[in-house]
Structure 1
Amino acid sequence: MKLVTGILAAVLLLAGVGASHAVMRISDDRGGRIGTYVDRFQGLRSSGETVVIDGLCASACTIVLGAVPRDKICVTPRAALGFHAAWDPGAGGRPVTNPEATRMLYEMYPTSIRRWISRRGGLKPRMIFLRGRELANMYRPCYLDAQASAHPTVHR
């Protein structure tokens, strides 16, 4: 039965994604330096890879939403996007909001994401999360079981 399920999953994947398309899976990415993510996702944009968000994509990771075409991004029921203001380390390593970097980050997002953020008061030091039905209404669903069966998981 497991073999039949695996074969069916592979057939479904090939029908939906195509054998020549690679898949990048994001599952537990807490973010980091904005520049690093801009570089990473700009390269991904030109590769044509599909991005599967299957867990946490927070902070600078969310730049993927503006860097990769919407039709190349899908979300699973486990997907969660975390947004907050950009910051720099201040005295004693304490985070200090960087208004210019926050504005730049906000402008990278697609209009639907900017509207969602604005309805929640904008990008602030505290993280806000987009997940569940709200996220599913903005991005197409992906079927990770089929994709995972046909392609090895890629983390970057």
Structure 2
Amino acid sequence: MKLLQLALAGVLMLCALSPASAKDVPVQFESGHNVTFITDDPGGVIVEFVKKYSDMRDARTKVILSGECVSACTLMLGLLRPELVCATPDAVLGFHSASVITREEGKPDIAEHGSEMSLLVFNTYPAKVRAFLAARGWSGANAHPDIIWVKGRQLRKMIRPCTAADLS
């Protein structure tokens, strides 16, 4: 089990360190800043988000959260520079534990709690986010398939509000 955790951590770190491909380069706006808007991101494969956010961090991309960011999308909290991330009043985060999906031809997909990946994701978050999630029943290692929604005042404790300068 410990060996698997170390191997997964190594894979995540290798993905984070590899250079961006041309399709992952953020758009440059008239302001001269690289900006990405997150408006409706349901999440996805954890390793892909680690790669994407590591590339964005290295490019010093500004991120504006202006809608839903759920599941693996929330990894931005631990992988991006906090000073380059802001949230509009419409921003919402959704957290839950990771799943591992087993696919076999001719059989229905089987989704199971991925304890190692859940723990890796949980430990990527800043301490204040981990404390918030633990207070709501998710410690990282345990299964928590229900989404923990965060918005409004509580979200502003995790991500700074966008200013007029952020949006120009």
Q: State the TM-score bracket (shorter-chain normalisation).
A: 0.7 to 0.9
Equivalences for residues 41-56 of structure 1 within 5 A: 41-56=53-68
- Deviation string 1:113-149 (CA, Å, 9 cap, x unpaired) is 11110010015011111111111133211147972xx
Instruction: Work out the percentage of aligned pairs sharing the same amino acid.
Output: 33
Within 2, Cα distance between the matches of 1:28 and 1:57?
Answer: 6
The answer to whether residue 121 in structure 2 is matched with residue 116 in structure 1 is no
Q: Partners of 1:138 and 1:82 in 2: how far apart?
A: 13
When the two structures are superposed, what TM-score results if normalisation uses the length of structure 1? Answer: 0.77
The answer to which structure has the higher helix fraction is 1
The SS at the match of 2:108 is helix
- Are 2:129 and 1:129 equivalent residues in the alignment? no
After the TM superposition, list the runs of 4 or more consecutive aligned residues in structure 1 that deviate by more than 6 angstroms.
none
State the SS of the aligned residue for 2:131.
helix
| Count of residue correspondences | 131
Partner of residue 83, structure 1: 95
Cα separation, 2, equivalents of 1:95 and 1:81: 22
Map of 1:74 onto structure 2: 86
User: Take 1:117 and 1:146, find their aligned partners in 2: how far apart are those partners?
Assistant: 28
- Distance in 2, matches of 1:138 and 1:63, equals 12
Which moves more between the two structures, 90-99 or 28-37? 90-99
| Mapped pair 1:103 → 2:119 | yes
Q: Where does structure 1 lack aligned partners over 5 or more consecutive residues?
A: 1-17, 151-156
CA RMSD of aligned residues (A): 2.0
1:62 CA displacement? 0.5
